[in-house]
Amino acid sequence: MSGSSFGHLLRITTFGESHGAAVGVVIDGLPPGLEISEAEVQVQMDRRKPGQSDLTTPRKEADKVAFLSGVFEGRTTGTPMAMMLRNTNVRSVDYGDIVDKYRPGHADYTYEQKYGFRDWRGSGRASGRETSARVAAGAVARKWLARKGVDILAWVSAAAGIECRTFDADFIEKNPMRACDPAAAEKMAARITELKEIGDSAGGIIECRVTGLPPGLGSPVFDKLEADLGKAILSVGAVKGFEVGSGFAAAGMRGSEHNDEWDDQGWKSNHAGGVIGGISTGQPLVFRAAVKPTSSISLPQTTRNTKGDTVEIRTEGRHDPTICPRIVPVLEAMTALVLMDHWLLQRALRGEDPR
Amino acid sequence: MSGSSFGHLLRITTFGESHGAAVGVVIDGLPPGLEISEAEVQVQMDRRKPGQSDLTTPRKEADKVAFLSGVFEGRTTGTPMAMMLRNTNVRSVDYGDIVDKYRPGHADYTYEQKYGFRDWRGSGRASGRETSARVAAGAVARKWLARKGVDILAWVSAAAGIECRTFDADFIEKNPMRACDPAAAEKMAARITELKEIGDSAGGIIECRVTGLPPGLGSPVFDKLEADLGKAILSVGAVKGFEVGSGFAAAGMRGSEHNDEWDDQGWKSNHAGGVIGGISTGQPLVFRAAVKPTSSISLPQTTRNTKGDTVEIRTEGRHDPTICPRIVPVLEAMTALVLMDHWLLQRALRGEDPR
Amino acid sequence: MSGSSFGHLLRITTFGESHGAAVGVVIDGLPPGLEISEAEVQVQMDRRKPGQSDLTTPRKEADKVAFLSGVFEGRTTGTPMAMMLRNTNVRSVDYGDIVDKYRPGHADYTYEQKYGFRDWRGSGRASGRETSARVAAGAVARKWLARKGVDILAWVSAAAGIECRTFDADFIEKNPMRACDPAAAEKMAARITELKEIGDSAGGIIECRVTGLPPGLGSPVFDKLEADLGKAILSVGAVKGFEVGSGFAAAGMRGSEHNDEWDDQGWKSNHAGGVIGGISTGQPLVFRAAVKPTSSISLPQTTRNTKGDTVEIRTEGRHDPTICPRIVPVLEAMTALVLMDHWLLQRALRGEDPR
Amino acid sequence: MSGSSFGHLLRITTFGESHGAAVGVVIDGLPPGLEISEAEVQVQMDRRKPGQSDLTTPRKEADKVAFLSGVFEGRTTGTPMAMMLRNTNVRSVDYGDIVDKYRPGHADYTYEQKYGFRDWRGSGRASGRETSARVAAGAVARKWLARKGVDILAWVSAAAGIECRTFDADFIEKNPMRACDPAAAEKMAARITELKEIGDSAGGIIECRVTGLPPGLGSPVFDKLEADLGKAILSVGAVKGFEVGSGFAAAGMRGSEHNDEWDDQGWKSNHAGGVIGGISTGQPLVFRAAVKPTSSISLPQTTRNTKGDTVEIRTEGRHDPTICPRIVPVLEAMTALVLMDHWLLQRALRGEDPR
């Protein structure tokens, strides 16, 4: 129980470091009979992989997924589905400097405090590469949910201090920022390119919207839908905040403004963000996540080394000037896993499919 | 597994509805030998209980805790510690109108969708009363952590649109808002009294700061300290957002600003909020939660009834114009439970106490 | 996680010591809508309670169950169902001698090794009284399963060296031994009365048969139906062995004898005991448990005291000369909990009720 | 949660079918710093692999283990350790007949009832090959325990109706039966060779003895050491019974015989088998498991096909005439996993290593 598993009934376990032999995931609890292919999963892997554009790290990693078990004649069997991605681009030479210096913003120091020593190759388990296993698992959950009419869409709503003001769903996958507003996307790209050139980095906000959910998913106390979802999202490295529906804006609202009323046309608003008392309302599920600027920057910083000396560090290498566009499919994947899990829980509770 | 348990090694299970016989909690996984008395737990119960001031519901509920098991001669035995609070003030007459109308902002509709029917007495399990069981459990974890030198302090940093601008730790428990700024507290009280008089309600922001944590607590992937904490906090009714350290502000920062550097005097900043890569850094753990305005308001609203008709509803009764001051001890309790849990996990991993 | 919870989707948590304020149980994961009353649960409590006959302890304990939560208007709500039994007959004076002597066959020494000290009142948590909470929970699961056509029946098939040779289902509840063979029951009673008079005790074998199970329950690897059931049964104090179907006799059989063939009339045998590869076959589920003789005997024995001296001990008091008849409802209860749990898991997997 | 994970703090998840791409295991919760090599794990794999002798299946499967993650510079890092075994000998042609016939004693029928269809290649997930993943994980736990002074030894104490009467620990690994008595081993081999020639199979009994355990391991209620161990052992295919210490013999004993007394020389007996009240006593842990005769036999049998017709089946192929010698390392592995898990739990509870 070192926290590498997630989920109640649909439970994933990930393994692997960025510079070890492979990363992978085992999904336990998948219902039998879902048609799924490596090519379908690969579509999602390609959305997360490095080297997609000038706004992501130029590092090349094929992120080629292979099924190891749990699929027979193109369908899930109901037994554990294991997927693996071999690590192909392991240039440990890039990481020489971090063997004995703790990079600011990275987990180097905390890992060493936790474990007594650490695998210093490319962040080890704390690497963003671990999230590729989540995306693989999420691709399966997503397919399953799509069959039920559930659609999950995330995008970058702000980055490098620039906010989207319009929303064009079709544009999201067509721009390297995965922003929803063409004008803002252009400004973001320009600003991030500048930051990249000076060796700095940018953060941003991801928004996600799920449509087609039935009401009744989620548990009322600790496993509230928003609590499980919040944990899922906050477990992704670089995420510093999570809000659902009205979120932090709720703090300044009055009850008469915030409550979602209902009239003959249906719900009049969705401040709840699709979930009340931990249970889905049937309205769209809406949440946002705050993403910190990439910790790896090439500007000089002061830090400690393993001997306790204060030293200068420059984390050279092939880094993302912002992680925002690549984190979009990760958040979608985690969302899919949480929703499918609660869907299965509801089947157990009621003895029938919610849809 | 209907989500009434929380925690990994230190695991609590709560039970009880607001208008049933009792609410309570079982704590499993408590180490033996902790001195604890009902009076010590009662101190925390009294911070959460209704009727504390004019800014909370005038409803009277003794919230008197009784130990049922797990304590022998004043010390925990290592076996499950059960605590119970009898429900004494059960005026179901107040709730007549909600039997067949779904209150806006409440879980009435979602419960009915989930379970097929619902216990309509005072919100049943979705009632804030369920959190009294959390506070009881948290009081025990808090005592255990205090022995290790860990201090947990939460307060209201904004409410009804008014933000605290100064910080006076000693003032927090001396004002009914549990605000940290005397001037702001006065304004908040005035504004909330106005809202109460017109039958409306207010939200706010709770901030929490934990000092004395050793580095090394938390797991690197799914059970990141901030992820488990986020889930804990988001599982409290009325919480719509959670952020750690820089939180949503991180989205607009550059990496060179956000990274916490280290020099000979120690850490130069704490944007991380005390946790990097899911593991505590040894700096103070800092987080904030957004609390929505109380859903129960006496202003008229439109909603559905169980037949599907659009109807008007006025949720009369004894409600809190804001839940902020009473939610402070609940968030502290959840924080204590998460931290003690991860402390125990670290003992298992390393074979010795982190302190 | 000190092991006081059991089950996957249907999860119970028990609490309480024999000489504390109360024992009880919280059931989480119960589907909504099951009609259940305290009186129905009490029927099962009365089968386990002490003082039923001359063959059980003369100690009087009302074992009166009270519902604390989770039931509204006579039906389960889907939220945690808590039940409590107050301890009424707490004569700690009987236990004076065991404060500093470790009783042979009891957990006194092992508790002290585990926890560093112990609650020495009447075995604390290791007392058979803990099983009353299991029986209460099992009564609810049993009712739920009965609605699905599942019948659970256990009986004493051997005790004090005497084996049943005939099987009369109706006789079981009519004799204080809960044996299935009238002639054997009489001999058992006589033999156990003799042992009681000389201050000794007897063990026995419990057999259990479940009919009406659909095929397909159970998971193929670690959570095999017989593995979860075995754990459930072996977790009951005094049980030293568990076997399913052919059990230990299988060791001496040939494959051609043991395999259950099938012809036009159906299965030709049931050596499997109703489960193959961890999954129910639809045949009756059949298992046996070995019960050790009661550890509390009044004959003198040598043991250690807490100082490490070798001393004589006589565990006077009101003990059961055999625990067999009272353990029957406990094993039935654990069986019901395991089966209902796997039934719910199958609903989640397939999206419909198995029946 | 389809039951492919096992353990509390030390938690393994296995994946893979006998005729898919690979089988493997992820171990989560391993403490950092344990020196471990593929070669050390391979030693245990080789004890389980097919083709060891004339008494096992002649099928060749290299069972070559590869580490995928969690080990850095020869030591565990504290993050998930994944291990994989490629399936090399996948002759699906052997299994043609079982596509539409349910083999007696096999899980073909039950899988189809559970999942709606099945992967019919060589038993899929129900294949004994799944246990290779357990042996790999167990090898790591075993090494960790050995460092603590714990020794785990299992052997065949009976097979094909022949019982061992002497005990020679050194002989066990020197004979293909892994029996403990040279004379009995010879008779077993002869008898099993006869059965093999006529296309039949044999069962047996495995005994296991663990020395060097400290007292205090195990939890008092549901997670009793013998309950978790019983589940672990009963989760291995072909095991039909489990008993600890006196086991089924306890049923016929008197309390005065069964209780383990203590005098100045220490414990006078070990009927408990090293565990009382779910917690280790410090005496050797002793248990036995009943193994059914191999289900795959080439003698003709009657069964059903998928259309419901009664048909004859002969399961030709390369089968083990008895699984006993190959199951010995599997039971040792499961034992190691349970013991290490409870060792870690005890560290969490007490804040120090038990030894």
Q: Is the pLDDT assigned to residue C125 strictly greater than 90?
A: no
C337 shares contact with chain D (CB less than 8 Å): no
Backbone angles phi and psi of C112, in degrees to 5: -65, -35
- Mean pLDDT of all residues belonging to chain C: 94
**C145 CB burial (10 A radius; 0-12, 13-18, 19+):** buried
Nearest alpha-carbon partner for C261 in D20, D297, B3, D287? D297
Q: Which of C344, C346, C355 should we substitute to test contact with A (largest number of A Cβ atoms within 10 Å)?
A: C344
Q: Do B80 and C118 touch (CB under 8 A)?
A: no
Other beta carbons less than 10 A from residue A91's beta carbon = 12
In the predicted model, what is the mean pLDDT of residues B13-42?
A: 95
User: Taking CB atoms and an 8 Å cut-off, how many pairs form between chains A and C?
Assistant: 40
**Per-residue model confidence as pLDDT tens digits over B153-205:** 999 999 999 999 999 999 999 999 999 999 999 999 999 999 999 999 999 99
Residues in contact with A228: Cβ distance below 8 Å, sequence separation at least 6, in sequence order: A218, A338, A341, A342, B231
Q: Which amino acid is residue C83, in one-letter code?
A: M
**Per-residue model confidence as pLDDT tens digits over D74-124:** 999 999 999 999 988 665 555 667 788 999 999 999 999 999 987 777 677
3-state SS string over C145-189?
Answer: HHHCCCEEEEEEEEECCEECCCCCHHHHHHCCCCECCHHHHHHHH
List the chains bordering chain C where 3 or more Cβ pairs fall under 8 Å: A, B, D
Distance CA A9, CA B227 (A): 19
Distance CA A68, CA D23 (A): 8
Give me the pLDDT at residue A49, please: 87
D310 DSSP β-pair partners: D304
Closest partner residue to D348 (CB to CB) among B79, B220, B344 is: B344
Nearest alpha-carbon partner for A157 in A136, A175, A179, A142? A179
A220 shares contact with chain B (CB less than 8 Å): yes
CB contact residues (below 8 A), chain D span 103-162, against chain A: 114-119, 121, 124-125
Give me the pLDDT at residue A89, please: 67
Calculate how close chain C gets to B68, using CA atoms only, in Å.
5
- Mean pLDDT of all residues belonging to chain A: 94
Residues in contact with A289: Cβ distance below 8 Å, sequence separation at least 6, in sequence order: A205, A206, A208, A233, A236, A239, A241, A242, A331
List the chains bordering chain B where 3 or more Cβ pairs fall under 8 Å: A, C, D
Q: Show residues of chain C in contact with B3, CB under 8 Å.
A: 28
Distance CA A74, CA C310 (A): 68
**Residue B324, SS3 per DSSP:** helix
List the chains bordering chain A where 3 or more Cβ pairs fall under 8 Å: B, C, D
D66 shares contact with chain A (CB less than 8 Å): yes
B214 shares contact with chain D (CB less than 8 Å): no
Q: Do A158 and B260 touch (CB under 8 A)?
A: no
Calculate how close chain B gets to A33, using CA atoms only, in Å.
25
Closest partner residue to A345 (CB to CB) among C32, C348, C352 is: C348
**C250-266 burial code (b ≥16 CB/10 A, e <16):** bbbbbbbebbbbbeeee
**Do residues A236 and A327 touch, judged by C-beta distance below 8 A?**
yes
**Residue A281, SS3 per DSSP:** coil
Taking CA atoms, D63 is separated from A82, D58, D66, in Å, by 18, 14, 10
Nearest alpha-carbon partner for A254 in B185, B204, B327? B204
B12 DSSP β-pair partners: B6, B27
Give me the pLDDT at residue B54, please: 82
Q: Show residues of chain D in contact with A114, CB under 8 Å.
A: 78
Give me the pLDDT at residue B51, please: 83
Closest partner residue to B351 (CB to CB) among D9, D345, D347 is: D347
**Per-residue model confidence as pLDDT tens digits over D298-350:** 999 999 999 999 999 987 767 899 999 999 999 999 999 999 999 999 999 99
D230 shares contact with chain C (CB less than 8 Å): yes
Taking CA atoms, B315 is separated from A255, B238, B298, C179, D324, in Å, by 12, 17, 5, 60, 70
Give the largest Cα separation in chain A, rounded. Answer: 69
Is the domain covering D5-350 a CATH 3.60.150.10 domain?
yes
Q: Do D79 and B344 touch (CB under 8 A)?
A: no
**Per-residue model confidence as pLDDT tens digits over A235-252:** 999 999 999 999 999 999
CB contact residues (below 8 A), chain B span 73-112, against chain D: 78-79
Taking CA atoms, C295 is separated from A281, C103, C196, D271, in Å, by 56, 8, 13, 12
Give me the pLDDT at residue B96, please: 66
Dihedral (C-alpha) C231, C236, C240, C245: value to the nearest 10 degrees?
-50
Q: Show residues of chain C in contact with A79, CB under 8 Å.
A: 220
**Per-residue model confidence as pLDDT tens digits over C260-288:** 999 999 999 999 999 999 999 999 999 99
Give me the pLDDT at residue D161, please: 97
Give me the pLDDT at residue C50, please: 85
**Per-residue model confidence as pLDDT tens digits over D240-256:** 999 999 999 999 999 99
Distance CA D73, CA D67 (A): 12
Give me the pLDDT at residue C124, please: 78
Q: Which of B14, B34, B77 should we substitute to test contact with C (largest number of C Cβ atoms within 10 Å)?
A: B77
Q: Do D351 and B78 touch (CB under 8 A)?
A: no
Give me the pLDDT at residue B272, please: 98
Say what percent of chain C tops pLDDT 90: 84
Q: Do B353 and D351 touch (CB under 8 A)?
A: yes
Kindly indicate whether the ipTM for this predicted assembly is greater than 0.90, answering yes or no.
yes
**Do residues B220 and B277 touch, judged by C-beta distance below 8 A?**
yes
A42 shares contact with chain B (CB less than 8 Å): no
Q: Which amino acid is residue C91, in one-letter code?
A: R
Q: CA gyration radius for chain B? A: 21
Q: Show residues of chain A in contact with B160, CB under 8 Å.
A: 252
Question: Cα(first)–Cα(last) distance of chain A, in Å?
Answer: 34
Which chain B residue lies closest to A229 (C-alpha atoms)?
A: B231
**Residue A353, SS3 per DSSP:** coil
Which chain D residue lies closest to A344 (C-alpha atoms)?
A: D1
Distance CA D254, CA C198 (A): 11
Q: Show residues of chain A in contact with C27, CB under 8 Å.
A: none
Q: Do B220 and D348 touch (CB under 8 A)?
A: no
Backbone angles phi and psi of C56, in degrees to 5: -120, 170
Q: Show residues of chain D in contact with A119, CB under 8 Å.
A: 72, 77, 79
Which chain A residue lies closest to B203 (C-alpha atoms)?
A: A251
**Per-residue model confidence as pLDDT tens digits over C310-345:** 999 987 767 899 999 999 999 999 999 999 999 999
Distance CA A201, CA A106 (A): 14
Distance CA C40, CA C34 (A): 12
Give me the pLDDT at residue B95, please: 62
Other beta carbons less than 10 A from residue C346's beta carbon = 27
In the predicted model, what is the mean pLDDT of residues A193-222?
A: 97
pTM: 0.97
Q: Which two tokens stand for residue A217?
A: 């998913």
User: Taking CB atoms and an 8 Å cut-off, how many pairs form between chains A and D?
Assistant: 164
Per-residue pLDDT band at A90 (split at 50, 70, 90)? low
Per-residue pLDDT band at C91 (split at 50, 70, 90)? low
Per-residue pLDDT band at D56 (split at 50, 70, 90)? confident
Compute CA C103 distance to the chain's CA centroid, rounded to the nearest angstrom. Answer: 23
In the predicted model, what is the mean pLDDT of residues A167-181?
A: 97
Distance CA C349, CA A94 (A): 46
Give me the pLDDT at residue C93, please: 54
Taking CA atoms, A252 is separated from A246, B9, B203, B204, B290, in Å, by 10, 37, 6, 6, 9
A348 shares contact with chain C (CB less than 8 Å): yes
The H or E element containing residue C190 is helix C182-197
Q: Do D106 and C276 touch (CB under 8 A)?
A: yes
D226 shares contact with chain C (CB less than 8 Å): yes
Give me the pLDDT at residue C272, please: 98
Q: Show residues of chain A in contact with D11, CB under 8 Å.
A: 1, 5
Q: Which two tokens stand for residue A277?
A: 């008392």
Which chain C residue lies closest to B82 (C-alpha atoms)?
A: C15
> Domain boundaries in chain D?
5-350
Q: How many CA atoms lie within 13 Å of D252's alpha carbon, on the beta-carbon side?
A: 5
Q: Which amino acid is residue A56, in one-letter code?
A: T
Which chain D residue lies closest to C258 (C-alpha atoms)?
A: D293
Distance CA B333, CA B233 (A): 10
- Mean pLDDT of all residues belonging to chain B: 94
Give me the pLDDT at residue D305, please: 92
Give me the pLDDT at residue D128, please: 87
Residues in contact with D71: Cβ distance below 8 Å, sequence separation at least 6, in sequence order: D36, D77, D81
In the predicted model, what is the mean pLDDT of residues B131-143?
A: 98
Q: Is the pLDDT assigned to residue C188 strictly greater than 80?
A: yes
CB contact residues (below 8 A), chain B span 299-328, against chain A: 299, 301-304, 310
Residue in the structure block whose two tokens are 């077993």? D188
Q: Is the pLDDT assigned to residue D147 strictly greater than 60?
A: yes
**Per-residue model confidence as pLDDT tens digits over A98-150:** 788 999 999 999 999 999 987 777 677 888 899 999 999 999 999 999 999 99
